[in-house]
Amino acid sequence: MDKSICFPFEIRDLDHEKTAEVTKHFTGLQIKYVQVGPEKYYFCEGYKRLGPKIYNMKIRSTDVFLVTVPKSGTTWTQELIWLLKNDFDYNSAKAVPITQRFPLLEQSMTHNSEIARSHLNVDNGTEKQTQMTKILSMCGFEVLQKASSPRYIKTHLPLSLLPQELLGTAKVVYVARDPRDVAVSYYNHVRLMLTFGFQGDFKKFWHFFLNSLVSWTPYFSHVKEAWVMRNHPNVLFMFYEELCKDLPSSIRRVASFLDKPVTEEQVARLCDHLSFDNFKKNQAVNYENLRELGLLREGYSFMRKGKAGGWRDYFDEELSAQAQRWIDDNLRGTDLRFPDA
């Protein structure tokens, strides 16, 4: 790391025992991992080179950040924000992938060109290989550095690891979701994406999630950082469950936060566009291009059910009790509560 860059958090390599356990079950990337800061945020080792750069990134007053723990309704909210801010340009929204309109800031942290090439089942130098390598190794940070304003920035990094001037300069939408639903969706995601190569059932994945051994966890540290800042004028804290229960009201709330007046007709059309059936068919947001490139497991899809409370289909009595104790322990002393599904 460049010693001239300000970065107040220690980055420690994951110990050998935990690394061995993780790589035994996540057979895809076969990379090393680190834990960052006092909360021990868990990332692949690419964070060493990218994290300090992000922390010192220059923020523009027109930036809009969407911050979430993975699998918290991120893509859904990205589309909502982008359309509000771009005067409901549905033609562009359907034509241009969400990954280009609303890049992931830390995209290249997990993948680089060497890792991308290792997942190609095609001959070297083919157009397909070139396309996949470009997709997997794209550096969101570098893309955003060169992007014109306004920038729409997706990140799963916690607030403490984001640029120091962020909250005083730009708008931040944070979406939280019941951690049990997050775990279920995350499990299906690592089963879907062949780059993870996850070998195990849901109980095994829950073990990793609970012990903060999946990227961007610990979950509660991440959410509680944002919850503490929920009354900041530049922060809008939302629950995925609220979006599911009353999407029109949620759209109005986001529109007000972003200073974008909306009509009832505009809200109704956006609700229709964001409905699960339409969203699942939308090639610009459902990542089906990755299937064509051989990155998705057959029988799985990026868009699954689009509802809250589905965790009950995965948690037996023992896991449910364990999860409730974990939630109660982490919410003790706070007023953070998750809405009923």
Catalytic residues: 156
Q: What is the largest CA-CA distance in the chain?
A: 57
Q: Running DSSP on this structure, what letter comes out for residue 150?
A: S
SS3 234: coil
174 within 8 A of 81, measured Cβ to Cβ: no
The backbone region for 197, taken as left when phi is positive above 0, alpha when psi lies in -120 to 50, beta otherwise, is left
309 burial (CB, 10 Å; 0-12 / 13-18 / 19+) is middle
Sheet holding 152-155, edge to edge: 152-155, 64-68, 171-176, 235-239
Which residues neighbour 7 within 8 Å (Cβ) at sequence distance 6 or greater?
A: 1, 51, 52, 55, 56
Q: How far apart are CA 226 and CA 205, in angstroms?
A: 25
Q: Which two tokens stand for residue 171?
A: 């708008």
